[in-house]
Structure 1
Amino acid sequence: MEHAKPLPSYLVQRYHGWKATSYAQNESWYRHLGAEGQHPRAMIISCCDSRVHVTSIFGADQGEFFIHRNIANLVPPYKPDGNQHGTSAAVEYAVTALKVAHLVVLGHSQCGGVQGCIDMCKGDAPQLESKESFVGRWMDVLRPGYEAVADVAEGPEQARALEKQSILVSLGNLMTFPFVQNRVASGDLSLHGLWHNIGEGGLEAYDPKTGVFEQV
């Protein structure tokens, strides 16, 4: 593979720093994980955004979360059509193989994917309308959410509303998966929607009884 290059030196240095400190201090735990496999209690579906650090937010250790990240923390509807579906595959593995007890969709503030969806739906991002745009076709998953907030004043208020809609759309789509439906119905799996304010360090949870996100 001639296009692969050596790892940047700063990453090499950081690895050696981790191996000499965090790993060395917890070597027995890492060896346990390596020998016994993973048994996470929860799956987290979050955005790829580099500012969203799930394990730090919850103070989680290695082996505690099964994490899947994609643009705008979206879950597409159940569609076993023979195509490649990374997010759906991750959900299937977490629910049917790992038997996680909790499935969390975590959205966040200032989400670039959500803003891209707004621009595309308003006709201000023709590049995303292209059939060749992977981002645009992925953001099609969120179009129903945009329709729900189309009447909200444009700007930060609409963006925040759609960020939360991205969570609700994903939660709704999760329930189109038969294996999710079955485990939710049996009480073995619970779904949760969270929204993270990056700048303020805030965390809001969706309350199905009130239909709003409340501060945790």
Structure 2
Amino acid sequence: MNSKVTVPYLTKPLPGYLLQRYRGWKAVDYSENQVWYRRLATEGQRPRCMVISCCDSRVHVTQLFGAGPGEFFMHRNIANLVPPYAPDTDHHGTSAAVEYAVNVLKVTNLIVMGHSMCGGVEGCRTMCSGHAPELEKPESFVGRWLDILRPGYERVKDIETPEAQQTALEQQTVLVSLENLSTFPFVRDAVENGNLSLHGVWVDIASGELQVLDNATQNFTTV
């Protein structure tokens, strides 16, 4: 029986620089920590924290918090958004990751991290202001995903300067996502039972400044 799978697109070898970096990692980092890696493989993961962050290549969460393998359960998507609870038959990657983290891994902290100069946020601003018809199309995956952030845009749309509006909407990605997380029954139960804490942060890529959401004031303050 031929079990060979026909791939519609021909794959190519990995770029040389990636292979070189892998070999360097295997020779140094893995070699020095192979006992820990083998323990992770045999005993499984027990992360205390889940982080939902943006896909942006400039956002390096584990480096920012000095975390190693096995410490953070990571989920990344455009503009670090969490959709509202919607138990239907559609695919929900972010919701599935949250469910697994809370119900199976029993993480005790869930962080939503926004960041400066977010392209997804800029796309939402452009779309919601009527200047991105390509994102308004029903078949736009990006546009329909950014619809999650429309309530946040409505809150900041009257801010006059584009720079200030951009930053405010970046922070709205965190607020909207935390609001949507509260619609998940298992998240709400875990929070009310004291088993889970929710956190919101925003990081400035250029300065390295980290701002944390103050739940009482709903403002972000620098740590």
Shorter chain as denominator, the TM-score bin is: over 0.9
The amino acid that maps onto 1:58 is F
Identity across matched positions, percent: 62
Q: 1:62 aligns with which of 63, 69, 76?
A: 69
* 1:128 partnered with 2:132: no
Displacement of 1:154: 3.6
For the residue of structure 2 that corresponds to 1:66, the secondary structure is: strand
- Find the aligned partners of 2:93 and 2:37 in 1 and give their Cα distance: 27
Q: Which residue of structure 1 aligns with residue 105 of structure 2?
A: 98
Structure 2 residue matching 1:46: 3-state secondary structure: strand
- Correspondence for 2:4: none
What's the RMSD between the two structures over aligned residues?
Answer: 0.7
Q: Deviations over 1:100-145 (max 9, x none)?
A: 0000000000000000000000111111001110000000000000
* Unaligned 5+ runs, structure 2: 1-6
1:6 Cα deviation after fit: 1.3
Mapped to 2, the partners of 1:77 and 1:190 lie a distance apart of 18
Distance 2:161 2:222 in 1: 24
User: What per-residue deviation string (whole Å, max 9, x for no partner) do you get for residues 142-173 of structure 1?
Assistant: 00000000111141100000000010000000
Shift of 1:12: 0.7
Partner of 2:23: 16
1:48 to 55, 60, 66: 55
TM-score, length basis structure 2: 0.96
Runs of 4+ in structure 1 deviating by more than 3 angstroms, as ranges, are none
Offset at residue 209 of structure 1 (A): 1.1
Between the aligned partners of 2:161 and 2:12, the Cα distance in structure 1 is: 44
1:101-180 alignment to 2 at 5 Å? 101-180=108-187
Name the residue aligned to 2:219: 212
Gaps of 5+ in 1: none
**Partners in 1 of 2:68 and 2:173 — Cα distance?**
27
Secondary structure of 2:106 counterpart: coil
Q: Which of residues 43, 54, 66 is equivalent to 1:36?
A: 43
What's the TM-score, normalizing by structure 1? 0.99
Deviations 1:170-189 (Å, cap 9, x if unpaired)? 00000000000100000000
Secondary structure in structure 1 of the residue aligned to 2:88: coil
Write the distance in 2 (CA, Å) between the matches of 1:101 and 1:3: 43
**Residue 210 of structure 1: how far off its partner (Å):** 1.7
SS in 2 for 1:26: helix
Secondary structure of the structure 1 residue equivalent to 2:170: helix
Larger radius of gyration: 2
